[in-house]
Amino acid sequence: MHTPTALLLELGIILAALSGLGALARRFALSPVPLYLVAGLALGEGGIAPVPAAREFVDTGAAIGVILLLLVLGLEFTVREFTAGLRRHRASAAVDLVLNAAPGAAAGWLLGLDTVGTMALAGATYVSSSGIVARLLGDLRRLGNRETPAVLSLLVVEDFAMAGFLPLLAVMAAGGTWWQALLAVVVAITAVAGAVTGSYRWGHHVGRVLSPPDPEQLLLRLFGVTLVIAALAELIHVSAAVGAFLIGLSLTGEAAERARDVLAPLRDLFAAVFFLALGMSVDPTDLVPMLPAAVALAVVGAATKLATGWYAGGRDRIGRRGRLRAGTALIARGEFSVVIIGLAGSADQRLGALVTAYVMLLAVCGPVLTRLAPTRPTVIPRRHAHSSGSPTIE
C-alpha cells in the first residue's frame, strides 16, 4: 500500500506545529484552542501555507474530534443527573433562545435577507460550540465546578433544538413545501426523544455491553459503536455530537472511568484537528468586507451569552463569579454555525461571509474571555446568602 509522501510530510508538520502551540498556550496557563484556530486560518485556502494533501484527512479528523469531545463529556455525568439538570433549566433554555436568536434575526432584517437567510443568521447567533466549550471545560479543569451542569444543560438543549431546526432549514433552503419541512422536524424530534428515553431506561445494559475488561477491546468497541450511533444521528439531521453524548451518559461508575482513560489520548489528538479544521474552513480574504458588521454582532452575541449564563447560574444559586464563568464559557460559536451556513449560505453571499467572520471572532475571543473569568471558588457567608438561608457558591 502506497502512502503519498506529501500527505505524511504535511501531517507531520501540522502535528508538530500543534504540539508547539499547545506547549506555548500551557506555558501561559491558556487554552490552546485560539492558537489552533489561528493556525487553521494560516493553513487553509487563502492562508499563507496551504496544505492541500492533508485537507481530506483534516476534515475527516475534525468530524471524529467533535464526536470524541462530546462522548468524553458525557462520561462525566449520569442520565439521571443530566435529565434533572435539563428539567431545572427549561426557563434558562427559553432565555437562551430569545436572547441569542434575536440579534441574528434583527441583523438579517437590517441586511434585507430573505426568510431563509434571516432564519439561518438567527440560528448561527443562537447556538454555542459544544466542541469548543467541552474542550475549554477540560483544559481549565472546570468539569467539577458548580456552574458546569447549567452550562452543559444549555449546550445539550441547543443541540436538541438544532435537531429540529436543521431539517426545517434544509427543506426551506431547497424550496420544499411546508408539509415536507414539518415531516422532517417530526422525524428528527421523535428519533431524539426515543434515544433519550432508551438511554434513561436501558443505559445500564448498554454500559455492560460497551465495557469489556480488556482495554483494547474497550476502545475498539466503544469508539466503533459511538461512530455508528453518530452516523445514524446524522442520517436524520440530528447532530452526531448528540448521539455521542448520549453514549457517554449511558456509561457510569468504573466503566466510565476506564473509558475516559483509554479515550483521552485519542480525544486530544482529534480535538486539535477539529479546531484546526474550523480555522481552515475560512478564507481570510472573505472576512474583510463584512468585518465591521461581524464585530458589532459578536459584541452583542458575547453580551447575550454572558447574560444567559448569568441567569442559568442564578437558578442553581451560584454566586457572581460562578455566573460569570458560566456566561463566558457559552460565548464561543463554532461547528453548528458553519453547518447552518452550509445549508443556507447560497441564500445571500453576504450571509456566509458575515457568519464566518462572526464565528471566527467568537471562537477565538470566547476561550480567552473564559480563561480570564475568575476561577477561585468561594463560599459566601450565610448572612450574605439568599433568603432561603443556603450559602451561595461563587
Residue 28, pLDDT score: 72
The pLDDT tens digits for 270-282 are 988 988 887 887 7
Helix (H) and strand (E) counts for the chain?
17, 0
Beta bridge partners of 33: none
What is the DSSP secondary-structure string of 137-170? HHHTT-TTSTTHHHHHHHHHHHHHHHHHHHHHHH
Q: How many CA atoms lie within 13 A of 45 on its CB side?
A: 6
Using CB atoms within 10 A of its CB, is residue 94 exposed (0-12), middle (13-18) or buried (19+)? exposed
State residue 223's pLDDT score. 92
Residue 82 near residue 250, CB atoms below 8 Å: no
Q: What is the pLDDT of residue 343?
A: 66
- Give the pLDDT confidence score for residue 20 in this predicted structure: 92
Q: Label residues 208-240 b or e (16+ Cβ within 10 Å = b).
A: eebbbeeeeebbeebbeebbebbeebeebbbbb
User: What is the set of domains in the chain, with CATH numbers?
Assistant: 5-373 (1.20.1530.20)
* pLDDT, averaged in runs of 10, over the chain (394 residues): 80 92 79 82 82 89 86 73 73 93 93 87 90 82 86 84 75 71 71 65 68 86 90 72 76 82 90 84 78 93 95 89 93 79 64 83 87 63 40 46
Written as nine digits, the cell of 212 is 469489556
Q: Are 130 and 105 in contact (CB under 8 A)?
A: no
b/e string for 349-380 if b means 16 or more Cβ within 10 A? Answer: ebbbbbbbbbbbbbbbbbbebbbebeeebeee
Q: Count CB neighbours of 60 within 10 A.
A: 13
Give the per-residue pLDDT at 393.
46
Res 102: pLDDT: 95
C-alpha to C-alpha distance for 42 and 36, rounded to whole angstroms: 10
Cα separation, 378 vs 124, whole angstroms: 35
The whole-angstrom separation of Cα 278 and Cα 366 is: 15
